[in-house]
Amino acid sequence: MQIIVVLNAGSSSIKFSLFAVAGEALQQECRGQIEGLFTSPHFVAKNMAGQVLAEKSWGEGVSLGHQGALQHLQDFLRQQQDGRTLIGIGHRVVHGGPNYARPVQMSAALLQELEAFVPLAPLHQPHNLAPIGMLLQAQPDLPQVACFDTAFHRSNPDLAQRFALPGKYFDAGVRRYGFHGLSYEYIASVLPQFDPQLAQGKVVVLHLGNGSSMCAIDNGRSVASTMGFTALEGLPMGTRSGVLDPGVVLYLMDHHGMDVRAIEKLLYQQSGLLGVSGISSDMRTLLDSDEPNAKLAVDLYLYRIRREIGSLAAAMGGLDALVFTAGIGENAAILRQRVCDDAAWLGVQLDTAANNSGGPRISKGDSRCSAWVIPTNEELMIARQTRAVLQGAG
Ligand code: ADP
């Protein structure tokens, strides 16, 4: 028997999953994380029934760092391995730059190449790469695979990847890359199970979570998405602004004395649902609140979704289905209802009872454009890609 471990390393946490390779199937056995890496580290691992398998806290003010956390995870995973062979580790890596349209097996040379994309995703890329470097040093023979959030969008036509800037900036990497690709690729891969015809159609997938974006998928391939050069563009998110007139940035620098770091903090951490509501970045809290600004934040979120659906449908020249996924998309029936009502002009007719019970199909049988709820599984996508690369089919 063989296993694959999936790692998703962020600035203050490392998330992990363990998959057993069972013939063609990949069976997720446990998942968990170490969070608060530099402040008050806490580790928890659960099985797929949600039962806690192991837990540990290091206390306030302790800095474990990525190295210490990785060490602890390895000790835990060795126990779980139970005599089976670890065939490789799959990593979520946010940025694969303009060329990587597929996952790749890591090497020291490739690590250096991917480090060149740190300026394009400074809040994610260095942390995604940290454990890869550490493991390359400690266990050079252990195969590692990088799975990119940008890769699925490399099928976008050239025009969808361009800003109207002088060509030298495009050549220097200032392009629309798109993100959440692992989630979209997973949805594209399971669509045939829900509706084989739809898998060849024109679909807008709404990945609505703390980070929110939307993707136009035509015949299984990404052709446009709402996120661009960074994961800031497009929809408002938990704390990110989404689309913004670039003139606002110039104005803030000129007239509010804000420098790059201050604007970065504003746009990444203080805007979106949190900034507009002044209450919370959490959709549940806003939906439960009677405060007018909570309502305003939800209304603005929905208004941007409504406009982006039109834009993505226009990019494809039609629309056959909407697919909702991620924390908000999978759980907030009231939001799905409002999005579908807003898209009635595109032929979406909601089946209210199906929507309230969570789908998977939430549109009426004779709806010209169907609507679905499909849970995403980025970890499984990484495990699949890792296996494919290690079997030489990547
Ligand atoms: P991330 O982008 O961090 O992976 P998730 O996909 O887990 O985020 O989504 C988190 C968001 O989902 C939060 O805004 C949370 O409020 C929202 N959410 C989760 N469950 C519900 C629910 N039942 N109703 C409304 N929103 C929900």
Confidence of residue 120 (pLDDT cuts 50, 70, 90): confident
The phi, psi pair for 329, rounded to 5°, reads: -60, -35
- How many angstroms is it from 171 CA to the middle of ligand 1? 37
Q: Could you identify the atom of ligand 1 that is nearest to the CA of residue 281? A: 14
- Coil/strand/helix, residue 232: coil
**Nearest CA owner, ligand 1 atom 12:** 327
The predicted-structure confidence for 152-201, as pLDDT tens digits, reads as follows: 999 999 999 999 999 999 999 999 999 999 999 999 999 999 999 999 99
Q: Is the CB of 29 under 6 A from ligand 1?
A: no
The predicted-structure confidence for 58-72, as pLDDT tens digits, reads as follows: 999 999 999 999 999
- How many angstroms is it from 283 CA to the middle of ligand 1? 6
Q: Is the CB of 291 under 6 A from ligand 1?
A: no
Catalytic residue among 75, 82, 141, 149: 149
Catalytic status, residue 254: no
The phi, psi pair for 204, rounded to 5°, reads: -105, 120
Confidence of residue 387 (pLDDT cuts 50, 70, 90): very high
User: How many CB atoms within 10 Å of residue 177?
Assistant: 29
For residues 28-41, average pLDDT: 94
Confidence of residue 393 (pLDDT cuts 50, 70, 90): low
- How many angstroms is it from 87 CA to the middle of ligand 1? 33
Angle subtended at Cα 15 by Cα 10 and Cα 17, rounded to the nearest 5 degrees: 145
pLDDT score of 259 more than 80: yes
**Strand locations in the chain (E):** 2-9, 13-22, 25-35, 42-47, 52-57, 85-93, 104-105, 144-148, 202-208, 212-218, 221-225, 321-325, 370-373
- How many angstroms is it from 61 CA to the middle of ligand 1? 29
- Coil/strand/helix, residue 336: helix
Q: Could you identify the atom of ligand 1 that is nearest to the CA of residue 335? A: 25
Q: Could you identify the atom of ligand 1 that is nearest to the CA of residue 333? A: 24
Q: Is the CB of 289 under 6 A from ligand 1?
A: no
Fold (CATH) for 197-378: Nucleotidyltransferase; domain 5 (3.30.420)
Q: Is the CB of 284 under 6 A from ligand 1?
A: yes
Nearest to 393 by CA among 22, 102, 187: 102
**Nearest CA owner, ligand 1 atom 21:** 331
Q: Is the CB of 332 under 6 A from ligand 1?
A: yes
Q: Could you identify the atom of ligand 1 that is nearest to the CA of residue 238? A: 14
For residues 368-381, average pLDDT: 97
In the prediction, which pLDDT does 394 show?
Answer: 57
Inter-CA distances, 261 with 101, 172, 228, 269, Å: 31, 22, 20, 11
Q: Where in the chain is the domain with CATH 3.30.420.40?
A: 2-148, 197-378
In the prediction, which pLDDT does 287 show?
Answer: 98
pLDDT score of 347 more than 90: yes
- How many angstroms is it from 209 CA to the middle of ligand 1? 5
- How many angstroms is it from 114 CA to the middle of ligand 1? 30
For residues 283-309, average pLDDT: 98
pLDDT score of 237 more than 70: yes
Q: Which of 286, 331, 335 to mutate to test the pocket of ligand 1 (most atoms within 8 A of CB)?
A: 331
pLDDT score of 392 more than 90: no
CB 106 within 8 Å of CB 132: yes
In the prediction, which pLDDT does 251 show?
Answer: 98
- CATH architecture of structural domain 2-148: 2-Layer Sandwich (3.30)
For residues 369-388, average pLDDT: 97
Half-sphere exposure of 18 (CA within 13 A, CB side): 23
Q: Which of 31, 187, 210, 376 to mutate to test the pocket of ligand 1 (most atoms within 8 A of CB)?
A: 210
